[in-house]
Structure formats: structure tokens, C-alpha cells
Amino acid sequence: MTRERWIEVGRIVLTGIIALLYWRELVSIQILWIAVAIGLYPLVKKGALDLIHEHKIGTEVFVTIATLVAVLGGETVAGAVLMVIILIAEFIADLNTDRARASIKSLIGSVPQVAMVRTTSGDRVVAIATLKVGDVVLTRAGEQIPVDGTVTGGQASVNEATITGESIPKEKIAGARVFAGTLVEAGAIDIGAEKIGGDTTFSRIIALVENAEAVQAPVQKLADRVAAWLIPIVFVFLIVVYLLTRDVRMIVTLMIFTSPAELGLATPLVMIAAIARAARSGILIKGGLYLELLAKVDVMVFDKTGTLTANKPEVVRIESRSPKFSEMELLRLAAAADRRSAHPLAKVIVENALRKQIEVPEPEHYEQLQGRGAKARIEGHLVLVGNAALLVENNVAVSAEVEGGGQTPIHIAVDGQFAGVIYIADALRPRARETLTHLRESGVKRIIMLTGDNIATANAVATNLGVDEVRAGLMPEDKVAAIAELQKQGHRVAMIGDGVNDAPALARADVGIAMGAGGTHAALEAADIALMTDDLGKIAVARAIARRAYRTIQENLFVGVGVVHVLGITAALLGLIGPIQAAVIHLGPDVLVFVNSVKLLRVRIEGAA
């Protein structure tokens, strides 16, 4: 409750009391007129400003005209009561809108205003505004991190929910990245400042979410257009009714129910609430436009590497081709041969062996063969680890059946005999298959993978995940063409990629969704929707929020506006209700629309914060 809000309360109470006193014949009609003028002032002011700057006629203009018609037509008390009730409705509307906007500002919290800076002369507290890139900031348990940067010392458990939407704290040690606005729950760390003030990811997130309100959804624009052409029709209708009935009371009643203002109120509050709810979950939706489009999407297109897969190779299976060696023994020998290699696939084998707590011996002799693999002597055995060409060049027969299948085979030979194969493949994202299932259940008809990788690898991933269609060996321009082709077929297409590399395709799609945008400014700018983590499940959450928001808008328009107003107009024409009853009834759809919209901040949505 701000000072302005208390003034509103005072104005409503004053007007109501004077209307009551006049009704009891305790004050003169002149005093009532003054009270009406005081009550009308904010409505007239807001209505005039909307009319001048936005060329929009809202509730304020309708209520002002209705009140003046009532007063001048002899229904003075009815006009005053009508105005008081509408002022109460406007007050409730403003409070609920402020609440939704406040949730945006509070969804992440606030960056501290001071920081502890470490210097050669000791630690000192300085204002955030005076920090410079390169300063080392100490942040302790219970404090929020004030800058984006890298941990230079100490250890801490940091809750990054304000950036990623994930509530489970992450352990931070020297070399780890941290973000402004996140909370140190335990420990203490020194942070080398890399981004400060408005350049931090935290600040950019807040700016994007706050600006999202300005990007209107098509249904919101439609409501505004309908309201614009409905107004002259309403006035013609009222004039005809007056000419037929000469009933001022009925005209005032009809004016209350024919106001198209609720059309404009039915969508903005929903969009604000939905965008705030998504942001709490680490999903940045840049406007109501993309929220509505995501709700209507029927085809989702995924990049493979870094999106459906983690772009992190791992050992997926081991095949022994010799009775002398078990799978674990084969892995032990391969890891020993590769332990000195810098090749990425060699590192994967060594890491897998260590993860399984296998003791990896030091090779007695080691030789790395460029483009082939490695040759090593281990415990008296000559071990070859690499591709098929390495074994063929050393007169080792290789089985052709191990090739292909979308996995990379690492051949192993021991003492001139083919011993087995270790298969390496890019790891799938956790919950990837589950996410695609949820998307299909939400109405997505086709899920397509577009990748620059080879067809065998792409098909292997697609089979594991249940992808409907695969297009492999694509250049960036080919992905754009594929999306354009789908759009020509009448589909609404969402493209999901890992940010900058997929920027052209993200831009071409109806909705571009960038994964893992936390800390990546280019990804934040490139996409219409940015997921702050690499969690594929967030896509299903974003879709669920979008569909719930769109359904809420439909409920607002049908029940809150359509049903109540149609019934109200019918009752007024039949003479069943007057202005005061109409004003009370009119309060109903207003409150209904606001409550129905704001509940989006708290209603249960699976996976949403």
C-alpha cells in the first residue's frame, strides 16, 4: 500500500459516506456533486490520458459518462453509488496488477547494495556502484553474491535458483563460475569480479522479464481491436434504446454492462503472471507473443548436439571378443594404454575406468600414433587401442560388424589378437525421452531432429528418444530451410537449440528456445525463450505454463466477460435490474478475472517453481 493507494482509499470512503448522508437527507445535493467530482477526477484524468496518448476508450470514460448521465438525469444517488463501486473495482484491479508486477521484481530477489572487497591493506566494505572489474569480493554464508565472476579462493555451497530455477545448491571451488543475485548458503568464497552492475546476468534477466510485458500476444491485440470497434456500436445501441424507451435509468444500467474494458483486462494480467511464474523456474519468456505462440506450437524441432545430447562422450558398452579378457580387464588395459594420451576419446576411457574404481597401471612403453590411436606395453603385453586402421596396419584382423550403429568403436588388440571393442557415444540429456513424451501429451504432433552429424549417429539418438523424423548432415542454412518448409505446410514451429550456433534457425522458427543461456549474453538475446539451464525438462514446463495461460485467458473472456455481460444486458433490457444492482454485478467479473489471472502465480504446474 503506497501513499497513492491510501489517497484512493480516502477518496472512495469520502464519496461513499457523502452519498449515504445525502440518501439520509443529511447533506445538500451540492455537497454530493462536489463528492462526485472528487471521485470522478482520477477516472476522468486516466480516461483522458488513454484517449489522447493511446486513442483508447476504457472503463474510465464509460463510468464517467454513465455517472454524469445518472446525475443529470435525476438518478444522483444511483450515479454516486455506481461510481463508488466502480472505484472499488478499479482499486482491486490496480492492486492485483501491482501484485503480479511485484512478483516479477521479487522473483529473483535483490542484489546487495554493498560488498566486501579484499585489498592488500585489508578487507573493506564498499558500495556496489564503486566496484570495478578485477576486484576480489568476499561473500560469506547468508549473503548474496554481488557480481558475476570466478571463484579465486575458498569453498561454498551456492543456491542458484534466482538464475536457473534449481533449488538444489551447487558446490563452488576455485575456478567455478558464480552469478550476481545467487545466495551463499554455507562457506565463504573470494570472487574475481568479471561483470558488475547492469552487465551481470541477474540484471539482464530482470530487464528482459520487465520488458516482456510490452510484447503483446496476438489475443491481447485482438482484444484491443475488438474493444476499439465495439465502442461506436455500443454508443449507437444506447442511443437507439434511449430513443425507444426514454429511460435514463436503463441507459445507465446498460452502459455498465456494455463497457468493453474487461476485454482489455482479460489478457495482460495473465501474461504478467505467466512470465513471472516461468522466470521463477529459470525460463525467460520475452513477451506474451511468444507465450501464446508456444501454447499453439504443433511441431518442435530439436538440434542434436548440445541439445538432445550433452555434447559429452561416454562409454556406452564394452564387448570382449576374446575369452582371455573380461570387459573390466579390457577396460583396464585400454585405460592404461590411453592414460598418457591427450585425445578426447582416450580421456573418456580413462575417466570411465577411474569412475569404476579400476586400478590403471602405468605403461612400460607408450607411443601415440596420429590419426590412429595408441600403442603401449602393459605388464608385458603389447596393447593397441584406436580405430580399425591401427589394427589393420599391425596385421590384426578386425570384424566389420563393429562399425556403424551411431556409436564410435574403439578397437583393442592384445599381443596381435583382436580382443574387443569399447563403444563411445554422446550422452543423452537426462530426462530427454520423458520430456519428449510430455510434449506429445501436450499436443505436439511431430518432433523432428535437425543435425549436422552423420545419419547413423543421428538415427541412433533418434531411436533411443523416439524422435519422429531425422534430417542429418545439415548446414545452418539447411536447418533454416527445413523450418521454412514446415511453416509453409501450415505448422507452428518451435526450434530448440543451444544458443548462438543455432541462431539462424532460432530466428526463423515461430518460437526460438535457447538452452543453457545462463551467463551467455548472446544466447539470451538470440532466442524468444531462454532456458537458464541445460535441463530439457524446462521445455515441457514452459509449454505447460503457456498452455495454462492461454486457457486462463479463454476462461476470462468467456466467463468473466461474455456470460456475465450478456446476462447483465438481458436483465437490464427486461428492467429486472437498475444502475446500483448493475454496478454490484459488474464488480463480479472484474474480481473473477483478476483472481483467475493471479492464481497462475501459485497454481500447481508440474516441474514449475
Give catalytic residue positions: 303
Helix, strand, coil shares of the chain as percentages rounded to 5?
55, 20, 25
Instruction: Name the helix (H) or strand (E) containing 302.
Output: strand 299-303
Angle between helix axes 268-280 and 537-555 (nearest 10 degrees) is 160
Angle at 554 between CA 232 and CA 296, to 5 degrees: 115
Instruction: Name the helix (H) or strand (E) containing 320.
Output: strand 309-320
| Cα dist from 286 to 205, 216, 277, 289, whole Å | 10, 10, 13, 8
SS3 524: helix
Name which of 538, 496, 501, 493 is nearest 514 in CA terms: 496
Q: Which residues pair with 136 in a beta bridge?
A: 118, 192
| Cα dist from 432 to 175, 185, 376, 456, 516, whole Å | 29, 30, 39, 19, 15
Name which of 377, 387, 373 is nearest 333 in CA terms: 377
SS3 179: coil
Q: Which residues pair with 44 in a beta bridge?
A: none
Residue 558's φ and ψ, nearest 5 degrees, are -80, -50
What's the grid cell of residue 55? 486513442
| Phi-psi group of 181: left, alpha or beta (phi > 0 → left; psi -120 to 50 → alpha; rest → beta) | left
What does DSSP say about strands 417-428 and 309-320: parallel, antiparallel, or unpaired? Answer: antiparallel
Angle between helix axes 218-245 and 248-258 (nearest 10 degrees) is 170
Asked if 252 and 79 count as a contact pair (C-beta separation under 8 A), the reply is yes
SS3 450: strand
Residue 551's identity, in one-letter code, is R
Name which of 491, 529, 513 is nearest 298 in CA terms: 491
Neighbours of 3 (CB within 10 A): 6
Instruction: Name the helix (H) or strand (E) containing 129.
Output: none
Q: How far apart are CA 23 and CA 18, in angstroms?
A: 8
Q: How far apart are CA 149 and CA 192, in angstroms?
A: 5
Q: How far apart are CA 187 and CA 440, in angstroms?
A: 43
Instruction: Name the helix (H) or strand (E) containing 609.
Output: none
Residue written as cell 446500483? 580
Task: Convert 255-286 into a string of H (helix), E (strand) and C (coil).
Answer: HHHHCCHHHHHCCHHHHHHHHHHHHHCCEEEC
